[in-house]
Amino acid sequence: MPKAAVFLDRDGVINRDRSDYVKSWEEFEFLPGVLEAFRVLALGLHQVVVISNQSCIGRGLVGRAMVDEIHACMTEAVRRSGGRIDAVYYCPHRPDEDCPCRKPRPGLILKAARELDIDLAASWLVGDDLRDLETAKAAGVRPVLVRTGHGRDLPETRLARVSYPFDVFEDLFEAVTRLGEGRVSSRS
Ligand SMILES: [Mg+2]
Ligand SMILES: [Zn+2]
C-alpha cells in the first residue's frame, strides 16, 4: 500500500541557507531544533524525503560527488541523533535548462512517488519559499511554509495573495509536532 511522505526542502528548512551555496560539509549548519524535528518524524510512519534544487552543480560551482557527500553526511548526522532520512532527491540543473525537476515544477516529487510508492494526497512538503508552496500545490501534496530561511522575510501581504490553502509554522520542529498532532489550521 502506498505510504505518506513528509517532503522537506533542504536549504532554509534543514540547514542555514547561504547566498554562495553550501559547497562542503564544513559549510553545512543544521538550523536550531532540526535534529529534534527529525527524531519526532522518525516516530511516525511517514517516509522522510528531502527535495532540493542544487543549481550550484549546473553552474559549475560544486561537483555532484560533493553534493552527494554532503547528503551522506547529513543523513548520517540525522541517523546518529535518532532521526531518519529515507531518501534525498535533488535537481542539478540551472534555471535556464528548463528541466522538469527544478522546483516549482513537481518532477522530483513525482519521481520519488513512483520510486518509493508514496501516497501524495496524504503527504506534505515543508519549505521556506513560495516556490516550495507552488511545488507542493503542483504535485498534489499539502503545502507547509516555515518562517526560517527565506520564510523569515516573506511579507504577510505576499502570503495573503497565495490562492490555495497552506499551513505556516515558525520552524521545522513546530511543523512536525503540530502536524503530527493533527493540530493544524490551514489558511487560504
Ligand atoms: Mg529553501
Ligand atoms: Zn532539474
Q: Is residue 79 part of a domain?
A: yes
The partner residues of 8 in beta bridges, in order of sequence, read 50, 126
Distance 16 CA to ligand 1 centre (A): 9
Q: What DSSP element (H or E) covers 53?
A: strand 47-53
**Which of 45-54, 83-92, 135-144, 177-186 has the least mean pLDDT?**
177-186
Q: Is residue 157 part of a domain?
A: yes
pLDDT tens track for 91-133: 999 999 999 999 999 999 999 999 999 999 999 999 999 999 9
Residue 67's domain is classified under what CATH number? 3.40.50.1000
Query: Is 167 a catalytic site residue?
Result: no
Task: Tell me how crowded residue 184 is: count the other CB atoms within 10 A of its CB.
Answer: 14
Distance 92 CA to ligand 1 centre (A): 15
CA–CA distance, 27 with 54 (Å, rounded to integer): 15
**Closest ligand to the CA of 54:** 2
Over residues 140-159, mean pLDDT: 96
Q: Is residue 185 part of a domain?
A: no
pLDDT tens track for 37-81: 999 999 998 999 999 999 999 999 999 999 999 999 999 999 999
Q: Is residue 102 part of a domain?
A: yes
Band of the pLDDT at 187, cuts 50, 70, 90?
low
pLDDT score for 29: 98
CA–CA distance, 146 with 125 (Å, rounded to integer): 10
Give the range of the structural domain holding residue 109, as residue numbers without chain letter.
Answer: 5-180
Band of the pLDDT at 8, cuts 50, 70, 90?
very high
Distance 1 CA to ligand 1 centre (A): 30
Distance 80 CA to ligand 2 centre (A): 30
Structural domains in the chain (count): 1
The partner residues of 145 in beta bridges, in order of sequence, read 127, 168
Q: What is the average pLDDT score of the chain?
A: 95
Of 11, 17, 167, 171, which is the active-site residue?
Answer: 11
Q: Is residue 186 part of a domain?
A: no
Query: Is 9 a catalytic site residue?
Result: yes
Q: Is residue 187 part of a domain?
A: no
Query: What does the DSSP 8-state code read for residue 144?
Result: E
Altogether, the residues listed in the chain come to a count of 188
Q: Is residue 85 part of a domain?
A: yes
Distance 93 CA to ligand 2 centre (A): 4
Q: Is residue 31 part of a domain?
A: yes
